[in-house]
Amino acid sequence: MSALQDNFGRKINYLRLSVTDRCDFRCTYCMAEKMQFLPRNEILSLEECLRVAQTFVALGINKIRLTGGEPLVRKDLPWLAARIRELAGLRELVLTTNGSRLVQFAQPLAQAGIDRINISLDSLNPEIFQRITRTGDLHKVRAGIDAAIAALGSAQIKLNTVMLRDINHHELPDLVSFALAHQVNISFIEQMPLGESGHDYHGSYYSSADALTLLKQHYELIPSVENSGGPARYWRIVGHNTRIGFISPHSQNFCANCNRMRVTARGELFPCLGNEGMVDLLPALRTHNPAALQQLITQAVGDKPLGHEFDLTQGKPRIVRFMSRTGG
């Protein structure tokens, strides 16, 4: 059981650890087209990432997700994954990726002990995909999905789609069909207004309720009481193994059950994605002070707010920190 509990009684057992702020895509809802990335000497070394993971697991964290930016642009990531997977008490090690490098890395990640992989897939149309990602190649991502299924099995792969009105929302039935055909799970995510990227967050917002209405015109969806330990609410389709999730930070606030913390590639510990409050772990890491590191983590858990502060009515993001900085 986790020794970490915030002031609202929530047990914290899940860490999202970003290994880089860099990415080979420039998704409109995640970052600006021309990004200024952190100097390399401000990025956690892989050894420092491992010490972060070790400290959190010692405090009772049992699930770690490796994120970015795009984690697979980080050299020697399978080495880090293998070392983290060896930690006693860790129940699950997962990875979120844009999929562009999975042809090369899916098998090494499986050998390193990665349990599951989440792959972003916002469109099945190459032109729309490039419009959203700015630099992404859909063919590489689809090949990466195939490679991940071959390496880990379809049950261990989940697709993530950020829903964007009048951009990709009409594709949601096709994306479900794609997930069913590949026997993988899929989650649809209400976009989170983070970062001044020039993106129209208000105009492109598409709710989970809208998505359900659309999908019910094509599929007989049955609500499920399944709980994966995260914010998604799930639906099933009779005769299929695919689980369809909806992550709804706006329309169905899930903060009451939040169990996670986020560490950025610079060592900033954010207790909440939708608030600016953070604790800087970098000095304790660079001075090799494990007691101070544990104290800072405990402090951050105590500072975890009750809920996030997303607000689409302002026409611009309240949180100007890019998603790529915090970790996807």
Residue pointed to by tokens 């997303």: 310
Would you place residue 277 in the very low, low, confident or very high pLDDT band (cuts 50, 70, 90)?
confident
Structure tokens at 214: 């659309």
Instruction: Read off φ and ψ for residue 92, nearest 5 degrees.
Output: -150, 135
Residues 100 and 26: their CA atoms lie apart, in Å, by 13
What average pLDDT does the segment 80-93 reach? 98
Going from the N-terminus, what domains does the chain have, and what CATH number goes with each?
A: 14-326 (3.20.20.70)
Structure tokens at 195: 């970062």
Residues 149 and 184: their CA atoms lie apart, in Å, by 8
Rounded to two decimals, what is the model's pTM? 0.91
Residue 161 near residue 124 (C-beta atoms within 8 A):
no
Q: Are strands 279-280 and 63-67 parallel, antiparallel or unpaired?
A: unpaired
Structure tokens at 18: 């970003």
Q: Where are the beta strands (DSSP E) in the chain?
A: 14-18, 63-67, 92-97, 116-120, 157-163, 185-190, 221-223, 233-237, 243-247, 260-263, 268-270, 279-280
pLDDT tops 60 at residue 318: no
pLDDT per residue over 192-248, tens digit each?
Answer: 766 555 557 678 889 999 999 999 999 999 999 888 777 789 999 999 999 999 998
- Rounded to the nearest 10 degrees, how much is the dihedral formed by the CA atoms of 78, 71, 176, 237? 60
